[in-house]
Structure 1
Amino acid sequence: MAGPSLRPHVHWAQRHRELYLRVELSDVQNPDISITDNVLRFKAQGHGAKGDNIYEFQIEFLEPVEPKPICRVTQRQLNITVQKKESNWWERLTKQEKRPLFLAPDFDRWLDESDAEMELKEKEEEKINKMKIESRVPKDPFKHLKKGYLIMYNLVQFLGFSWIFVNMTVRLFILGKDSFYDTFHTIADMMYFCQTLALMEIMNSLIGLVRSPLIPAVVQVFGRNFILFVVLGSLEEMQSKPVVFFIFYFWSIIELFRYPYYMLSCIGIEWKPLTWLRYTTWIPLYPLGGLAE
């Protein structure tokens, strides 16, 4: 025959719109929390006053609440937030007048009605002040145009360097080492296009379209363009050297991650694997590219 169920100590507090329940259980596992017919039902494995056991309780609320509680588990306790259906102050938590023995006020969060009203008023005033401040900030009429331009620029560069990378990779698999010697004649036109377009990165930084510092952009763009247009473009004996393959290949790999990262940043999206690749691949590739150059 099963014994009586174990109940954890539960502390509660309220605001006009929310109820807070703090369940005194540590190392909680498999919490089952639901609200049906205005009754909260709780069951979980955890370490409480009676050791490591299964604890459960139920509370029938005084007034209607939303049926979707928010649960946050920490190592020492479990916190439940319940939204009231109507914003008002309750005289007690439960429908039954006699308080259950396992239930007690949470004095760490406890406020009386007047203090809670003051807190609510302060939050509303803070929200209004924030809206006023935001309304005073002049809006950029060209914001969407700038964002569209940056997205398009990064997309075009990504497609260009993707074409270079895929073309070189396919040729490497088909022709092997023979592809090293005609890389310039096969890829140069697209590389000319991408690196000429890259001059816009200096302009973007100069006029404040992007927050990237100007000096690194100038060094990278002019450094690459010097190698491409002056060294490789004017010295025909260099164009058939295998080193051209490695220079172009390293450049394209770096940009395969850099431009998509910038493009997603324009629309406020951060994809963590891409961010990691963006800030990791350059560590070995920049020295290798510099060595090849």
Structure 2
Amino acid sequence: MQILTPHVYWAQRHGEIFLRVELSDAKNLNIWLQENTLQFSAQGHGAKGDNEYMFSLEFLEPVRPEINHKSTQRQVDIKVKKQVERWWDRLTLQEKKPVFLAPDFDRWLDESDAEMELQAKEEEKINRINVESRVRKDPYLGLKKGYLFMYNLVQFLGFSWIFVNMTVRLFILGQDSFYDTFHTTADMMYFCQMMAVLEVINPLLGLVRTGFFPALIQVTGRNVILFVIFGSLEEMQNQPAVFFVFYLWSSIEIFRYPFYMLACIGTEWKLLTWLRYSLWIPLYPLGTISEAVAVIQSLPIFDETRRFSLPLPAALGQSLSFSYILQIYLVLMFLGLFINFRHLYKQRRRRYRSRKRKVQ
């Protein structure tokens, strides 16, 4: 009987190799390792009909001797564990790929995607810890969740008040509402943004797993705009830029805070989850552009009023205008946009990759 080679498809993770052998109704299956080379032989129906098929693959790096395999009516699935968990540049020791070998695109991931999957698995492992054992280890878990729930509830109510107030005034007054936004909503925005400082403190205390630096960038950037640009310059308080900045901020937060609030009690609404992980894609860059417009409009005012100017030695001049610092801040603002956008995008991919695995 003619001996043929079956089609073999492969994929990898940091610690494992997956092989899919296109051989249906496999019989007399024989799979073993010989000096780091996988040997395969079986009788079954492959690309050349019913025949005996066999192949061998010498792996690029050492693997563990245990081989897990499963034969179905359609194919043979093989899983081999790597000796050292690391990413391989290719599967085989020989640089030229065997003609019967191809990537398994159904399971294929690049290295960065595999790292995200590994991180998501670690997060799922943590989430599967028995609730009772967690309570014994952390007797203040209920108190922490209660604090986070109340914090997110207060912020949700505050930003909802701002959003509804601005929306109603926009429908009633039209464009005229642009010019008195600060005087009608500033007190509540002051309160919400001062409360937001807790979002920088919470990661440091281990209350949330959110990154410290993304939270610091967002809170600091917003407070500069609110307290320095709008709060200290009366000339800026009647500018339409205030309306767009406040409206975009509140549009993001009325979905973000209730999402975290429900997460504290183990509840999820699919629509709210989608809004939380999708609306920021257009709104966050638009918010940064609105903030940049406000900063640019404030530059001549700081030059004229000399407010917050830095005194210099007499040999260098009288003072350094605060507008120069704001020009540097403009560059940092868009750098912060890139950092936070990348962070949020990774969060979104990790979230939906995790949900996709649960569905499967």
TM-score, with structure 2 as normaliser: 0.44
Structure 1 residue 139: deviation in Å?
2.1
Q: Over aligned residues, Cα RMSD in angstroms?
A: 2.1
**1:141 positional shift:** 1.0
1:280 matched to 2:278? yes
In structure 1, the residue matched to 2:245 is: 247
Is it true that 1:234 corresponds to 2:232 in the alignment? yes
Q: Structure 2 vs 1, CA of residues 131 and 251 (structure 1 numbering), >3 Å: closer, same or farther?
A: closer
How many residues matched?
164
Q: What is the letter of the counterpart of residue 139 of structure 1?
A: K
Of residues 171, 175, 178 in structure 1, which corresponds to 2:176? 178
- Sequence identity (%): 73
The change in CA–CA distance for 1:131 and 1:247 in structure 2 (over 3 A counts) is closer
- Partner-residue secondary structure (3-state), 1:257: helix
**Matches of residues 3-18 of structure 1 in structure 2 within 5 Å?**
none
Looking at structure 1, the residues matched to 134 and 277 of structure 2 have their Cα atoms a distance apart, in angstroms, of 37
- CA deviations over 1:207-237 (Å, ceiling 9, x no partner): 1100100000000001000000011101111
- Greater RCO (Cα-Cα under 8 Å, separation 6 or more): 1
Structure 2 CA distance for partners of 1:138 and 1:158, relative to 1, 3 Å? same
What is the correspondence of 1:119-198 to structure 2 with a 5 Å cutoff?
Answer: 135=133, 138-198=136-196
Structure 1 ranges of 4+ moved more than 6 A = none
- Out of 218, 221, 224, which is 2:222 matched to? 224
1:138, distance to aligned residue in structure 2 (A):
4.5
Is residue 135–residue 141 contact of structure 2 (8 Å, CA) maintained in 1? Answer: no
Q: Which has the higher helix share?
A: 2
CA distance in 2, matches of 1:136, 1:162: 34
In structure 2, the residue corresponding to 1:264 is in which secondary structure? helix
Partner Cα distance (1:268, 1:286) in 2: 27
Paired AA for residue 259 in structure 1: Y
Runs of at least 5 residues in structure 2 that lack an aligned partner in the other structure: 1-127, 292-360
Letter in 2 for 1:189: D
Structure 1 distance, partners of 2:203, 2:230, is 27
* 1:207 and 2:205 correspond: yes
Q: Deviations over 1:162-205 (max 9, x none)?
A: 00000000000111100000000111000000000000111111
Aligned to 2:353: none
Classify 1:275/1:136 alpha carbon distance in 2 versus 1 (closer, same or farther; 3 Å): closer
Report matched runs for 1:54-133 at 5 Å: none
Measure the CA separation in 1 of the matches of 2:259 and 2:203: 17
